[in-house]
Amino acid sequence: MKSASPLSIILLASTSTTACSVGKHLWKLSLTTDANPSQTSWELHNGKGKLIGAYKAGKYEPLDVYEHSSCLNPGVFTFIIRDDGDGLCCEHGQGGYILTVDDVVIRKIEGEYMFEIDEF
């Protein structure tokens, strides 16, 4: 299992005016599923621990790319992704995810993991 250390990023003021109103940050998740996507789920929480976005296991199709996005107010956020077994890879196909804020890559994961937490 591969694991990456959590990131802590505090969003203060937005410099992006592409898809969000002034002062908000564009959060994007690009998720590539493996051949067994029924094991993959994710959650996005604000700094107070409130769930503000989620996708439950069993809703993705195999070997496909999914894009999720949201405009966030300045603050601290936690992204949690789970996948049972070998993560988004190996004998089940090569998957992974890219997490960006205002088009800056916060985390890029390919392959083996079972549980990742990113704080930004």
All domains in the chain, ordered by first residue: 25-119 (2.60.40)
* Cβ 62 vs Cβ 34: under 8 Å: yes
* Cβ 43 vs Cβ 80: under 8 Å: yes
What residues form DSSP beta bridges with 111? none
* Cβ 81 vs Cβ 104: under 8 Å: no
- Alpha carbon 29 to chain centroid, angstroms: 5
SS3 13: coil
SS3 90: helix
Count CB neighbours of 89 within 10 A.
21
The pLDDT tens digits of the residues spanning 34-77 come to 888 888 889 999 989 999 999 988 788 988 999 999 999 999 99
Per-residue model confidence (pLDDT) at position 9: 42
Question: pTM score, two decimals?
Answer: 0.77
The pLDDT tens digits of the residues spanning 96-110 come to 899 999 999 998 888
SS3 20: coil
